[in-house]
Amino acid sequence: MGTARHCFGRIAPAAGLVTVLLLMLAPAGMLTPSDALASHGHYGCCDSVDETTWWDKKISFESYTVYGDGLWHAVNNWNSLGRVDIRYDDAWSITDLEIGDYSASDGTCGYWQTRVGADRIRLNHNVIWNCGAGPRLVVLHEMGHALNLIDHYDYSYSYTVMYYYSIACGTQPWDCWSMPTWLTSHDTHDYNWRW
């Protein structure tokens, strides 16, 4: 016991100092979990996940979209991975995400936007049916952003849900394909790594 006390007396201040140094680095943004995740390459700054309780990570959403089939396809696919529960907002929850539609001829299929208050997913009426496989793909992709996954720009990922474009082409105009409407092994890998 005497030896143990002796060691504690010496180690405690040193350990404390190390802890203080680590804490000084953490607020400065030099040592944060998001950095460790970002180094993997496929995670964004933000998400719509409510992590108030660690045992119940969830996204409570309100829907104002006409693309209900696409929405539930996305919810079921992401929920099947089991780490974050995406569910309809109810009287007991605070809305984390609102989903609605707009119309613009800017070539966007849709996007997720983090905001003060509830985040938003917006789906573009104007072009959504020309976005590869359509609403199922677009909502699945945007819900991926709500789960902290970012766009993939590298061509080697051009058959994943989180690819930047809904359609990719090879060298010829007729050599084009839609991104899939199901989660690929890479999308699943990114989700599992993050959550």
Partner 1 sequence: MHRRTKASRSFVLVMIGLVTVGVVGVIAVSSVNGSGMGVGREERTRDVQPMFAYQFEDDRQLIGYASDVFLGRVTAQVGSQGIGSSIPGDVIPQTQFSVEVQTVIKGQPPAVVTVSQGSGVDSDTGETVLINGDPLLQPGETVLFATNHEPDRGWYTIVGGGFGAARASSAGDAAALVTRFQQAAVNAFVPQPIPGYVPEHAGAAE
Q: Which of residues 66-105 bind partner 1 (CB under 8 A)?
A: 66, 98-105
**Nearest to 74, CA basis, from 178, 144, 159, 166:** 144
- Scanning 51-59, 64-72, 73-81, 82-90 for contacts with partner 1 by CB under 8 A, the matching segment is 64-72
Residue with tokens 């400065």: 28
One of 38, 89, 189, 195 touching partner 1 (CB under 8 A):
189
The 8-class DSSP code of residue 29 comes to: T
Question: Considering the complex, what minimum distance in angstroms separates the CB of residue 62 from partner 1?
Answer: 8
Amino acid residing at 182 = W
**Residues 16-45 close enough to bind partner 1 by CB under 8 A:** 16-17, 19-20, 23-24, 26-29, 44
Compute the distance between CA of residue 151 and CA of residue 89 in angstroms, rounded to an integer: 26
How many CA atoms, within 13 angstroms, populate the side-chain half-sphere of residue 70? 31
Tokens of 24: 């000084």
Give the binding range for partner 1 (CB under 8 A) out of 4-12, 33-41, 52-60, 69-77: 4-12
Kindly determine how many residues on this chain lie close enough to bind partner 1 according to the rule CB under 8 A: 75
Q: Which residue has the tokens 């793909």?
A: 137
| Residue 110 is a binding residue for partner 1 (CB under 8 A) | yes
Q: How far is the CB of 71 from partner 1 (least distance, A)?
A: 13
What mask, x for binding partner 1 by CB under 8 A, covers residues 153 to 182?
-x-xxxxx---xxxxxxx--xx-xxx----
Query: Which of 75/181 has CB closer to partner 1?
Result: 181
Contact criterion met (CB below 8 Å) for 152 and 179: no
Q: What is the CA radius of gyration of the chain?
A: 21
Least distance (Å) between residue 173 CB and partner 1? 4
Query: Tokens 């780490």 belong to which residue?
Result: 83
Q: Cβ 25 to partner 1, closest distance in Å?
A: 9
Amino acid identity of residue 54, one-letter, is W
- Reading the block at residue 13, the tokens are 């201040």
Which CB sits closer to partner 1, 73 or 141?
Answer: 141
Footprint of partner 1 on 114-143 (CB under 8 A): 114-117, 120, 122, 127, 130-132, 138, 141-142
Q: Reduced to 3 states, what is the DSSP secondary structure of residue 41?
A: coil
